[in-house]
Amino acid sequence: MATKDADLAGLRIQRAPQGAKTPRRSRSSGKIIGWLLALALIVAAAFFFKDFFNPGIEVQLATASLTSPSQANAVLTASGYVVARRKAAVASKGTGRLVFLGVEEGDKVTKGQVIARLEDADVVAAREHARQNLRLAEADLYEAKTNLERMHVLLQKQMIAQAEYDVAEARYKRVIATIEAAKFALREAEVAVDNTRIIAPFNGTVLKKNADVGEIVAPLAGAASSKAAVVTIADMASLEVDADVSEANITRVIADQPCEITLDAYPQRRYPGYVANIVPTADRAKATVLVKIKFKDYDQRVLPEMSAKITFLAPGSAVNADSAPVLTIPAAAVAERDGGQVVFQVKDGRAEETAVTVGRELGGSVEIKSGLKEGDKVIAKVDERIKAGTKVTQKTN
C-alpha cells in the first residue's frame, strides 16, 4: 500500500515553459484545416453564384389554344376585317336645317323609307306657287281653245278675216306653251321638296348617326359647321371579309377556294366561306394583295369592321362549323422523356416538366388531350438541353 502511494506522489504533469515553441506537427495540422475551410467556402460560393453568371437557355413561349380540326387542311392563314359590300353614307341633295331624324343606330330601314327631313317651308311654298300658275294656265287654255273653235266656225262662214283667226290660233299655242312651262316649274318645285327628304337607298341597318336635329346639312358640307352625311347604313346581307395576303403567298390562293373564318370576338365560332375575288392589283407599301372572302353562312353576331382570321384550306376541303375545337400547341413543344411525352412550362425561371397526352396532328400543331388547359404557356421548341429544372430565359421578341 505504501508503495502505491509513493508511486502516485511521484506523478507530475509536465507543462511546457511559457514562451516555448509549439511543435511543428501541431502547426501543420492547423494549416490543413484552414485550407480545407477556404476550399469549402470557395466551393459553396461557386455553387451559390453559378446561376447568377448563367443567364439560362433562351426560349420562346407558346400558348395552348383551341383550334379547329380543319387546320389539318390549312395551306395559309391571313388577317382581315368584315366589311359590307353594300354600304352608303346617306346625305341630302339639298341644303337646310335638319328638323326630323327618324332612326337610331341599329334600326333597320327599307328602300324608299324617309330617314330624315330638312326644313322645307320655302320649297313647299314655291311648289304651291307653281301649282297655282299651272291652274291659271289651264284656265287660259280653256278660254283660248273655245275662242279658237269659234273663230274657226266664223272663218268657215267668211264672217271674219284670216288675220283674226291667226291671232286666236297664236294665243292658243302660247297658252299651250305656258302650260308646259308651268308643268316644268311644278316638277322643279316638287324635286326641291323631295330633296329635303332623305330616303333609304336600299334595305339595310343604320350603323352610324352622323348628324342630329338642328344641324345644318349640305350636299358637300362646305362649311365647318355643316354635315354632309346624315346616317351611314349597310346591307347586313352583303357582309364579306377583306384580307391582305402577302405577295409571296398569293399563289396559294385561288378562286372559290374553301376558307374558314374566325372572328376575334368569337374565337370558338367558325364560319364557312370561300374566295370570291382576288383584286388584280397589289399594295406596294404593304406588299400585299387584297382578297375578298364571302360567307357561306353567318349569324347576326357578325358585324362590319370586326377583325377576323381567315384560314385558306386545300381545294376540296369541307368546313364543319359544328365540330368542336380541340386544344393544341406547336408540335415542336412536345418532347419524349423516359418513354412518355411531356411539355415544359416555365416557373420561377426554370423549366418545369408536365406530362401530356397527345392526339392528332393539325398542320404544325398537335392536339393535347390531357395535361394542359386553354391559356397555359409552354416552351415552344424543346431540344435535348432542356430538362426539368433547367434555367431558361424568355425571348423578348
Structural domains present in the chain: 57-69+325-394 (2.40.420.20), 72-86+238-313 (2.40.30.170), 87-118+196-234 (2.40.50.100), 120-195 (1.10.287.470)
Residue (of 173, 176, 192) closest to 129 by Cα position: 192
Q: What is the mean pLDDT of each run of 10 residues along the chain (397 residues)?
A: 49 51 57 74 60 70 82 85 93 88 93 93 93 91 91 90 92 92 94 91 93 85 65 94 94 93 88 94 94 93 94 80 77 89 90 90 85 90 87 77
Residue (of 168, 322, 303, 154) closest to 239 by Cα position: 303
Beta bridge mates, 229: 91
Cα 190 from Cα 15, distance rounded (Å):
138
207 in Cβ contact with 304 (< 8 Å) = yes
83 in Cβ contact with 234 (< 8 Å) = no
**Beta-carbon count within 10 A of 275 CB:** 20
Cell numbers at 186, concatenated: 311644278
pLDDT, position 2: 46
Residue (of 382, 395, 396, 328) closest to 351 by Cα position: 382
244 in Cβ contact with 286 (< 8 Å) = yes
pLDDT, position 225: 54
Note if the pTM is more than 0.95.
no
Cα 106 from Cα 110, distance rounded (Å):
13
Cα 198 from Cα 305, distance rounded (Å):
25
Cell numbers at 175, concatenated: 297658252
Cα Rg for the chain, rounded, in angstroms? Answer: 47
